[in-house]
Structure 1
Amino acid sequence: MHFAAPEMFGSTEYYVGAGICALIAMVITWRDPPGMLDNVLLFLFKWGIVASGLVFFIWGIGYKLEFWGEHNPDVVFSSAFDTILPNLAVLSGVLLLVSGWVYWRLR
């Protein structure tokens, strides 16, 4: 984290990212036979990724519908944040929903 985002050092996001990296490293280097701790960590990772993707999707829909964010119709130029990120959020949510539907159909 320190080399990837040094400007975030000391913030809450920095420590959350460092914790996530530590958990991923712990799962990768875990050398015991699969047990309850492994299953719990993998469950948290799997459903944590799905939950964060859905939250990102909801944020993108809300931003596109102007529920939140700073929208000024008088501005001629928009930033990449106003165009790319909400579209990426909507795309990731659609991909999550389609992959969930395919998984459900194949099960």
Structure 2
Amino acid sequence: MYVAGHPSLTLVLVMLVGGYLMAGGANAVNMYLDSDIDDRMSRTRLRPIPSGRMSPREVLVFGLLLATTATYLLARFANLLTAALALLGFYAYILLYTRWL
């Protein structure tokens, strides 16, 4: 719900951190799902999984942890709609970008 005036600094920081964490989580899950082709492309072969710096399981757990933390922060300190929209973006990125592009 819109409230006239300026948002608090806390809300702005929660939104920035929550968005950053959700984007990072989606990116990490994308790297997990694309790990089978990343070692064949020069642009992506230095990512954590193909380069051997992290195992696929570590990357997946890290990505899901980031997304879960973002969801909690946004739901707790912003609102449920914001958290739901961030999750929608997470799933859209994974389903559309990872699978079809």
TM-score range, shorter chain: 0.3 to 0.5
Q: Pick the structure with greater CA Rg.
A: 1
Structure-2-length-normalised TM-score = 0.41
Flag the structure with more relative contact order, 1 or 2, with Cα contacts below 8 A and sequence separation at least 6. 2
- TM-score under structure 1 length normalisation: 0.39
